[in-house]
Amino acid sequence: MAALASGGGWSIDDFEFGKELGAGKFGTVYRAREKKSAKGYIVAIKVISKAELKGVGEHQFRREVEIQTRLRHPNLLPCFGCVHDDKNIYMILEYAPGGELYDALLKEGPFSEERSAKYMQDICHGLQFLRENSVLHRDIKCENILIGFHGELRLADFGASVKSNSARDTFCGTPYYHAPEMVEHKTYGHEIDAWALGVLLFEFLTGSPPFECENRVELYSAITNVDIEYPRTMERDARNLVSKLLVYEPSKRISVEAILIHPWMKRCLDTDAEGASD
């Protein structure tokens, strides 16, 4: 894939489009084959209408491309570049054959403790790297996480992301994953991504989000009151980790570094490693 990343100079005619992989707020993603090189690399191409990007959308898109093109990490989905024609802009992305984590959870979930811990480890490593580069993702959810060639997770869709060391107050993201400070329109920092990790881990282990309500008012009330009903089947240490992430006060949430050394994580990752070596 390195050859593709350094090739550049494409036009959209250099790609043969395949099936649709998914659609989002500002674009539709397709599987495609690159035709310039002899190897014919498989990529994902996000097609964005220029007309739909006018105004705020254009700023968000430029930010998304800048972050995803510049930052390289095993747990972030890379963008190799962009091409455009009169109507559309095309983001050339790495193809993740495992698809969206959301589809895997829907089809196979709940996940085992070992699988959940490995996925949490991957996401934490990606978020560590983003924080080191002063980037808030702001829309961590199963639909924005892809499964790579070797089963590793790749954070994707940086449309809501922002590069900043200061507190933010923009209302964005997905309601089910909103932290209390977002719901209450307060300023926030990297702790909102930690809250989203708590929601994810609950989903991994139960197959459902911790806050499920019929309308937005009830949902936001449950979030700000941290009104969670833990199933009896959730292991004690797993519940402890979730409860340390889903904390109303941002400063009291467990850090990404602390997640990685939490007893539940260490036990599950050690068990997974032992199983892999048998």
Contacts of 185 (CB under 8 A, 6+ apart): 169, 171
- Does 44 share its domain with 149? no
Would you please indicate which residues are annotated as catalytic (active-site) residues? 139
Task: Show which of 51, 76, 94 is a domain's final residue.
Answer: 94
C-alpha span between 237 and 206 (Å, rounded)? 15
- Does 36 share its domain with 16? yes
- Does 30 share its domain with 48? yes
- Does 109 share its domain with 80? no
Q: Per residue in 4-60, pLDDT tens?
A: 443 457 789 999 999 999 887 678 999 999 887 767 789 999 999 888 877 667 777
Short-list 238, 204, 211, 231, CA closest to 122? 204
- Does 74 share its domain with 164? no
Contacts of 203 (CB under 8 A, 6+ apart): 105, 109, 142, 209, 210
Residues of the domain holding 111: 99-277
- Does 134 share its domain with 268? yes
The tally of domains found in the chain comes to: 2
C-alpha span between 29 and 12 (Å, rounded)? 14
Whether pTM > 0.75 for this model: the answer is: yes
- Does 57 share its domain with 175? no
User: Strand 28-34 and strand 42-49: pairing?
Assistant: antiparallel
- Does 84 share its domain with 124? no
- Does 217 share its domain with 115? yes
Q: Per residue in 85-143, pLDDT tens?
A: 889 999 999 999 999 999 999 999 899 999 999 999 999 999 999 999 989 898 899 99
- Does 171 share its domain with 234? yes
- Does 190 share its domain with 166? yes
- Does 31 share its domain with 147? no
